[in-house]
Amino acid sequence: MMEFFPKELRDEIAFAQVSRAKKKTRLRVAAAGTSYPVLRFWQDGLTIEAEHTTHLRGLVDIYDGARHIFQCLIVASETDGQELICTFKRATAVFERPALDYERDESAPVGYLTKS
């Protein structure tokens, strides 16, 4: 249906959609010391504005505000209009605590009391 509108109107609609998505999201992707706002995010991919970069590939970090939430490996990116669509090979959740190297015993004490 958009093909029936004049080109100027289609461009304005696309610009309005991108600017609305930028205002709505707190997510950003950090790659090689540069940060880009995320327009859309799903299980195995994301989109950013194509005007920021024409190609994005490799290991990137995803942030929600200041909180680091994912580390992703981008294997493919393609431009679709004003969006750069990036596809993940993997997206690993980031935890604030270190990984355990052993199985934690459920009956182990939570803490120890000192002698006074």
- Give the C-alpha distances (Å, rounded to integers) separating 52 from 12, 37, 70, 72, 103: 19, 9, 21, 19, 45
- Give the C-alpha distances (Å, rounded to integers) separating 68 from 45, 71, 80, 83: 17, 8, 27, 23
List, run by run, the mean pLDDT of 10-residue segments along the chain (116 residues). Answer: 74 72 75 87 88 84 90 88 88 81 80 78
Q: What is the largest CA-CA distance in the chain?
A: 83
Predicted pLDDT of residue 5: 77
Predicted pLDDT of residue 22: 57
Predicted pLDDT of residue 62: 93
- In the chain, what are the domain boundaries? 2-93
Dist CA 36 CA 41 (whole Å): 13
What would be the CATH architecture of the domain defined by 2-93? Beta Barrel (2.40)
Give the phi and the psi of residue 9 in degrees, each rounded to 5: -70, -40
